[in-house]
Structure 1
């Protein structure tokens, strides 16, 4: 959500514009701090199966480091918008289809290897646009790898933190991290992460889900209009 806020809402309020690279670096910092904070809770609840989570996290981290340090500097504004829009569309689709719990089993080796490849490319996405759509990996973990939903959330959150960290390291190597903006956004996001649950308890899951769908749809339409103007 931070990308469209900085890209479209902030300029309307202040009249100032951030470069797309500044926005992606700020989103990357927010992703790291929020997922790292959440990972502590999942660790304490013993919901991170490190035997698998570390392997997935390392694969995604390699992808985010490569894209953050080598690929992102050569990516133009239109490509980033298209990639972000695609993630938003897929996120909306998966949000419309609730994940149903399956019987937890030990992942089959071949499917786990495929998962390693998938999360590598999701990591590359993170290094480019600041978010990797880890929500897109959750159905694969539940339906194919047969993780429980709670362990799936714990694993993807932990992996997301490591992936974001190495994306930050990669971008730092080539001087593409705007630390001032990134830290302000990250701190604000962490505060929101703590305050948010206090307000969310006043709304039903259905209302929250519908609200998220409306936000995603608004983002998709806005990004599509921006893409059209930049073609």
Structure 2
């Protein structure tokens, strides 16, 4: 392993941290395909490693949002409670899945996520999350808490299976169901993502599915990317960024799915 290996690992981390800070998405979507396709690492180890990095990147980004008052700690706690349980269930389920099945499943998730981001980037500017929020109304606090617990459980399971901290899913839920403003939704979802990813990381570490050297190198880049991305998040054209990331996700998902079928 030479200098190129170390530099590439750190660069991957920078991309991961930047994505997390700018659009609230888990960097897992970038790390897993790269580690499996170019570093010749098994899918299980790639997911475990990416979850480790996800914790570091998400904590870095959420701290930045917290300093600006854009995190709802109360909602974070309720969603995190069940997401931790769901993450452990998901991690156990993933360990019983075959390498090929897990690769193709992750590829499909990437394609869906990519196409979803592309569709959102082409939405009419007049569309607003507030229009969705009007159809959902909680009459009491316990209904919001119950919704938070259910959301957390579902996101946790998906996180454990596919190695994704669930940032995009949490973000959508906070905006459309919990009626959060965008900035507070991103900050809160990133904190929840860190907690969920940590739970999943423990599950993968217990089964020896984490490459700690790669995790450390990529995490260095993730911290740098998270700090830089958080600082300039409000100055970047969100629609253009969504198009770029959506295309990348879709292409990587197609490649992973094809390679899984060829194995």
- Shorter-normalised TM-score: what interval? 0.7 to 0.9
**Residue aligned with 2:130, SS:** coil
CA contact (8 A) 1:57 1:159 kept: yes
Q: CA deviation at 1:113?
A: 2.2
CA contact (8 A) 1:87 1:133 kept: no
What does residue 178 of structure 2 align with?
Answer: 145
What does residue 17 of structure 2 align with?
Answer: none
Cα-to-partner distance string for 1:108-162 (whole Å, 9 max, x where unaligned): 2446524422331321222233214320232222122211111211111010000
Unaligned runs of 5+ in 1: 12-16
Q: CA deviation at 1:107?
A: 6.7
Q: CA deviation at 1:164?
A: 0.9
Cα-to-partner distance string for 1:22-81 (whole Å, 9 max, x where unaligned): 21111101111110101111211221111111110121112113333x333222212322
What does residue 24 of structure 2 align with?
Answer: none
Q: 52-61 vs 185-194, which deviates more?
A: 185-194
Structure 1 pair 139–67 and aligned structure 2 pair: CA distance change class (3 A): closer
Q: CA deviation at 1:197?
A: 6.8
Structure 1 pair 5–202 and aligned structure 2 pair: CA distance change class (3 A): farther
What does residue 43 of structure 2 align with?
Answer: 20
What does residue 223 of structure 1 align with?
Answer: 256
Q: How many residue pairs get matched?
A: 223
TM-score of the two chains, using structure 1 as the length reference: 0.82
**Residue aligned with 2:245, SS:** helix
Q: 105-114 vs 180-189, which deviates more?
A: 105-114
Q: 171-180 vs 153-162, which deviates more?
A: 171-180
* 1:73 paired to 2:91: no
* 1:92 paired to 2:120: no
CA distance in structure 1 between the aligned counterparts of 2:36 and 2:163, rounded to whole angstroms = 13
TM-score of the two chains, using structure 2 as the length reference: 0.73
What does residue 214 of structure 1 align with?
Answer: 247
Structure 1 pair 75–194 and aligned structure 2 pair: CA distance change class (3 A): same
CA distance in structure 1 between the aligned counterparts of 2:216 and 2:192, rounded to whole angstroms = 21
What does residue 180 of structure 1 align with?
Answer: 213
CA distance in structure 2 between the aligned counterparts of 1:148 and 1:204, rounded to whole angstroms = 18
Q: CA deviation at 1:199?
A: 9.1
The list of structure 1 runs, each at least 4 consecutive aligned residues, that deviate by more than 6 angstroms after superposition, is: 103-107, 197-203
CA contact (8 A) 1:92 1:216 kept: yes
Supply the RMSD in Å over aligned alpha carbons: 2.9
CA contact (8 A) 2:107 2:253 kept: yes
The one of 134, 144, 149 equivalent to 1:116 is 149
Structure 1 pair 81–111 and aligned structure 2 pair: CA distance change class (3 A): farther
